[in-house]
Structure 1
């Protein structure tokens, strides 16, 4: 029988590792009797390259400092000792991002062959600690974790979220909070939708009016905003510390009214359009017959590529309803070439599969299964973002105060009960790079809105990308989720209390 917590008269606690609220669920959990306690005198032992391991120790210290009051001492040693050991293994590892957490009464060993895996092991260790570890003030409790071991690795390499900052603009601090959220569930990509009809959000020095004019509006007529290049670089660097890679998107040839309003020469008639604050789609297009259009795209991609260490630039390609297909195809082919010229790989929404795909172009499936199939027939890989399951801006049900429902109502169980490898027949697991959960922001205006639509569904989609299908079940997940909500309560996260989940369920006590 699984016993979650046993109390003895000596206040010795045995915590059952199998009852921890891990999200996403690890591949292997082995329980043992006993606990390890973190105190102010617990050292963090660095085994391996200090320049690589040290920042991960700093991350752990920063995360626990406010709630514990501890500033754990780091020390470089050659072998595991008492305390918390962060061990970057020199020998090769078959699986990228794999890690182990092994805990005895005297020490913790978090080990991996790479820095990302070590970071994810630390995230798992944080999930093993009491929820109060996330408090903003010092808590008077024992910081104990169960003895035992966790061995884990991801099912898919690309596990991401998309935040649309074009429909409504969000501050650098808001974006950083989103990064914190996704990293805590072992997601490793943040796709920023930086341009659309309603706003242009990234400074391009060669084309300053993009932000001077196109960055001034948003849906509903608000003041909009944009990121300077220095702010964008700050976001990229902040994300990298948590092993999250930024994927910037410049949507084209449609969804481009903000650019068309900023520069008349990008329009076929040579006249700038009016700024737009509505939500209809598909009415705008760059003038694909003009060479100035490709000069514009080249400059934008060049400046973005110089600021973006990640391998992908997203070039949109969706809902170009007023761009004739005979113009759309050569346009998307030429833009892929521009991306390659700047040493990046193209990613685009699934409509791009109508065009000839360059090697390494990623097709992001969102709507048309036939497009995903066309992509793999050309040898492309697919990123899975089915709108009916993965769009976390969709309403939970008809009573949800924000969000849309053109794709579906997506309750907590609907977000969880599907599999990447089975969703599109004809697209096999080895043709899928992973999952992304897009959040469009036509109705989303602030961080409370983001979190309400993100939680709990973000954890469902994170688990789909990380945990093998055979190791997942809705009944098991919803129990872990209910227990895990204590973390959100401590963090002050505004989450949706789905009626499909018994939120009052706690760890079994005897």
Structure 2
């Protein structure tokens, strides 16, 4: 049975009699599910014209009933991978039953019920009209393929305010993504308060990419975002990029900088920084310890701290490995687990460490001869960059040999700063399509984003056992505003949810594109700026309700 929701449901069967949902139907929830019920009602009222009420006194009659229960869920396949919050008791299996006498949503945990209600919310939105949603009779049970389903958001090159990040969290929640990985530091800016190092925000936070306005998140801002995400069962994972990508650090504290850091303008607005933190200086480790402690204190729900570890241009392999090893020790000393980009595989990682795979061998090889790459990179710097790319082909096998877990983020499928390939169905969007997206990447279609599988795209992996999860990424060199960001994220983010949640090789483009078209009404009502790809037969736009 085809159900107009994303991600694809594991098992769904058509029932006998449909159900007409009106605002008179209450949502009945026990006390332990009341918060989940109220979140559902609020989100549904934003996404659709259906406005429901929550009841906790279990009235008789037709209702949407929420239950903590696990009946009928044991046959679902086990979820693989790792949790960003480290919750070993997590269980997202859930069921949804729609019949003429009402609706039942159940799961073993409040999070599981929330996932089931997310399916119901999409279903209601797809069938709503004139205050009534005619819902198909349905019996469904569902569970995710991977426990880590994420999006990495670059807030360093373009600073995105708290409200924008909240909007992104809402997008993640809608497609059952449960991790928002914040890339908080880079050459262009520093976005996190560290009390012992105030110049990081007084100086390092001023900048952004090009002439964009900088900024940072206060401790209160972070607390509000962490709570907002937790209400939607999303964990925010902080990334402090080191030992490279540290120009903002060096601008704030020159005593941490190498003697001759070098910044090269490759083309106007695109800068490459050469200079890394020195693992042989004890001041470096005072800095790293203070920064990690601050990140751990603020992002309390995350079991991980992401240390970056990528693109340490000009750093000797031995020095890079020594830095990564000690940084991982610092993270573990603060009671957290370590996560880093795939280059950390070249250090002494092991079981419990997570390596984020992003540089695909085929794409890296193509990049060696890419005219776009050569146009962006100064001739003197090109050999250094090509050396880094050449080393990347060994990272995944090395990580697996060392017992690490992989987080899968292949550039060709999950880097959303790639230009859109198809034309827009709205000619007014063509200027944005031509401007937004890194030109070094070949453009990608929406279909490219769902016709693949994490196993097939990951070197030497032949089962889910070594994959911790799936994570998309959006980098913001070409993103100048919230509208640009959302233009790159949607509709692509729905596809990331599909690949991280749905069973292997179950996505068919014809079915997926039809399900995707049904999402547009919610996007319009929320005022999200999305790319109207000509690949999909979109409905007429709805009136935006939220900004």
Q: Which residue matches 1:261?
A: 251
- The answer on whether the counterparts of 2:406 and 2:467 sit within 8 Å (CA) in structure 1 is yes
Looking at structure 2, the residues matched to 254 and 373 of structure 1 have their Cα atoms a distance apart, in angstroms, of 23
CA shift, 1:152, in A, is 0.6
- The answer on whether the counterparts of 1:203 and 1:226 sit within 8 Å (CA) in structure 2 is yes
Q: Which residue matches 1:184?
A: 174
Structure 2: tracts of 5 or more residues without a match:
80-90, 360-391, 423-432, 542-547
Residue 328, structure 1, aligned to residue 320, structure 2: yes
> Could you give the per-residue CA deviations for residues 306-353 of structure 1, whole angstroms, max 9, x where no partner exists?
122111110001111121111101110000000000111111000000
Which secondary structure state, in structure 1, belongs to the residue aligned with residue 302 of structure 2? coil
Residue 173, structure 1, aligned to residue 163, structure 2: yes
Q: Normalization by structure 1: what TM-score?
A: 0.88
Q: Which residue matches 1:73?
A: 54
Q: Are residues 61 and 173 of structure 1, via their aligned partners in 2, closer, same or farther at CA, if it must alter by over 3 Å?
A: same
Residue 402, structure 1, aligned to residue 440, structure 2: no
Q: Are residues 191 and 59 of structure 1, via their aligned partners in 2, closer, same or farther at CA, if it must alter by over 3 Å?
A: same
- The answer on whether the counterparts of 1:101 and 1:121 sit within 8 Å (CA) in structure 2 is yes
The counterpart of 1:193, out of the listed 151, 168, 183, is: 183
Q: Which residue matches 1:292?
A: 283
Looking at structure 2, the residues matched to 350 and 80 of structure 1 have their Cα atoms a distance apart, in angstroms, of 56
> Could you give the per-residue CA deviations for residues 108-144 of structure 1, whole angstroms, max 9, x where no partner exists?
11000112211110000011113486xxxxx743133
CA shift, 1:289, in A, is 1.6
Looking at structure 2, the residues matched to 225 and 484 of structure 1 have their Cα atoms a distance apart, in angstroms, of 33
Q: How does 1:20-31 map to 2 (within 5 A)?
A: 20-31=3-14
Residue 376, structure 1, aligned to residue 400, structure 2: yes
Residue 32, structure 1, aligned to residue 15, structure 2: yes
Looking at structure 2, the residues matched to 229 and 476 of structure 1 have their Cα atoms a distance apart, in angstroms, of 44
Q: Which residue matches 2:271?
A: 280
The counterpart of 2:489, out of the listed 454, 468, 493, is: 454
> Could you give the per-residue CA deviations for residues 398-432 of structure 1, whole angstroms, max 9, x where no partner exists?
96321113243221111111110111231232100
Structure 1: tracts of 5 or more residues without a match:
1-17, 134-138
Q: Are residues 110 and 430 of structure 1, via their aligned partners in 2, closer, same or farther at CA, if it must alter by over 3 Å?
A: same
Residue 364, structure 1, aligned to residue 356, structure 2: yes
Which secondary structure state, in structure 2, belongs to the residue aligned with residue 151 of structure 1? strand
The counterpart of 1:128, out of the listed 110, 123, 130, is: 123
Q: Normalization by structure 2: what TM-score?
A: 0.82
Which secondary structure state, in structure 2, belongs to the residue aligned with residue 469 of structure 1? coil
CA shift, 1:501, in A, is 2.7
- The answer on whether the counterparts of 2:4 and 2:126 sit within 8 Å (CA) in structure 1 is no
Looking at structure 1, the residues matched to 229 and 24 of structure 2 have their Cα atoms a distance apart, in angstroms, of 30
Q: Which residue matches 1:312?
A: 304
Which secondary structure state, in structure 2, belongs to the residue aligned with residue 177 of structure 1? helix
Between 1:31-40 and 1:313-322, the stretch displaced more is: 31-40
CA shift, 1:459, in A, is 1.2
The counterpart of 2:450, out of the listed 406, 411, 416, is: 416
Q: Are residues 73 and 22 of structure 1, via their aligned partners in 2, closer, same or farther at CA, if it must alter by over 3 Å?
A: closer
Q: Are residues 275 and 387 of structure 1, via their aligned partners in 2, closer, same or farther at CA, if it must alter by over 3 Å?
A: closer
The counterpart of 2:112, out of the listed 117, 128, 137, is: 117
Between 1:443-452 and 1:208-217, the stretch displaced more is: 443-452
Looking at structure 2, the residues matched to 421 and 191 of structure 1 have their Cα atoms a distance apart, in angstroms, of 22
Q: Which residue matches 1:354?
A: 346
Between 1:451-460 and 1:92-101, the stretch displaced more is: 92-101
CA shift, 1:19, in A, is 4.6
Aligned length: 479
